[in-house]
A = this chain, B = another copy of it.
Amino acid sequence: MDLRQLLFFSTIAETSNLRRAAERLHISQPPLTVAIRKLEEELGVQLFERGAKGVRLTPAGKAALPAARSALVSADKVRLWSREGDRGERGALRIGFVGSSIFDLLPRLIPSFRARYPLVELSLEEATTHEMVPRLLAGTLDAALVRAPLLEHAAVDLAIIDHDELIAALPVSNPLADAERIDLSALAGETFVSLGRTSILRMTALKACHDAGFTPHIAQEVPQLSTVLCLVQSGLGVALVPSRVRTNIPAGVKLVHLDVAPSIETAVALSNLAAAPAAINFRSLAIELSADD
């Protein structure tokens, strides 16, 4: 049995006439006769009753016809879906993201992507930049929203899609909380709340402090940026956070600009080799949206 025979079967069923079916199929009538009889022999069942005024489906033919049509439809889907998959318009896309992108970037990016590529099934996972790089290379992630500067990695392509700066998050109880702007060195004596050691955000903040002439005293390490803000709110310390969190700060936390604002950037990272088309589409869309701002 092959798809050609099923197409013949379905066409004959529609025309009830071998000659007309042959016309529609752009072949002559004899090979149709041969092909359909061969199919019947293979199935061990008669599909048509032959008569002088054409052919009629037998009960066996009536029962088999929907399956034959469905096979033809599926074959068409092979054609369509393979092309869609090739263009990154269909398939699964696993995206990793750093926690801080949840405040601004992710909520803008994901709905746009879903709207433009509705057949791509997204799965999202939070992780740190350092965790995501090997996963991109291993192929367990297709794209990642990471913090740049990423230590340069030859096999990972970066496209910066968001520029931001660090800003001081202070509890309202802190005397500096009402300042218009402060110098980072003013925080030298404070206790700090920070993300874990592998976080690029933390590394950037630490470097800024060193540039300002002090080493911050980190009293608490937590994995999520939102937890950092909660601890600041509780008065446990101060923190340096991306200014984009401003849309989601809890009451009791004040954000104060720094005289010299350390910059921090978010990028889309893709594996240099073997980037999925859908991942490339994701990056293109992210770049496009970042240009809109």
Contact residues of A with B, CB < 8 Å? 1-4, 6, 43-47, 49, 58-64, 66-68, 70-71, 74-75, 77-86, 88, 90-92, 274, 276-278
Contacts of A276 in B (CB 8 A): 59
Contact A64 B45, beta carbon cutoff 8 Å: no
Contacts of A58 in B (CB 8 A): 85-86
In the complex, A83→B43 CA distance in Å?
7
In the complex, A61→B78 CA distance in Å?
9
Chain B's nearest CB lies how many Å from the CB of A191? 49
In the complex, A62→B85 CA distance in Å?
7
The oligomer's copy count stands at 2
22 CB-based A-B contacts, threshold 8 Å? A1-B3, A2-B3, A6-B75, A43-B82, A45-B85, A45-B86, A47-B82, A49-B274, A60-B83, A60-B85, A62-B85, A63-B82, A63-B84, A63-B85, A63-B90, A64-B81, A67-B75, A67-B77, A67-B80, A70-B74, A71-B78, A74-B74
In the complex, A88→B287 CA distance in Å?
61
A43-B78, A60-B83 are known contacts; what are 4 more A-B pairs with Cβ within 8 Å?
A43-B83, A60-B86, A70-B70, A74-B74
Contact B61 A71, beta carbon cutoff 8 Å: no
Contact A59 B91, beta carbon cutoff 8 Å: yes
Chain B's nearest CB lies how many Å from the CB of A121? 11
In the complex, A90→B81 CA distance in Å?
32
In the complex, A75→B274 CA distance in Å?
34
Pick the contact of A75: B49, B62, B71, B278 (CB < 8 A).
B71
Pick the contact of A77: B60, B70, B80, B91 (CB < 8 A).
B70
Return the 9 tightest CB-CB contacts between A and B, nearest first.
Answer: A63-B85, A71-B74, A67-B77, A64-B82, A60-B86, A60-B85, A70-B74, A67-B78, A2-B2
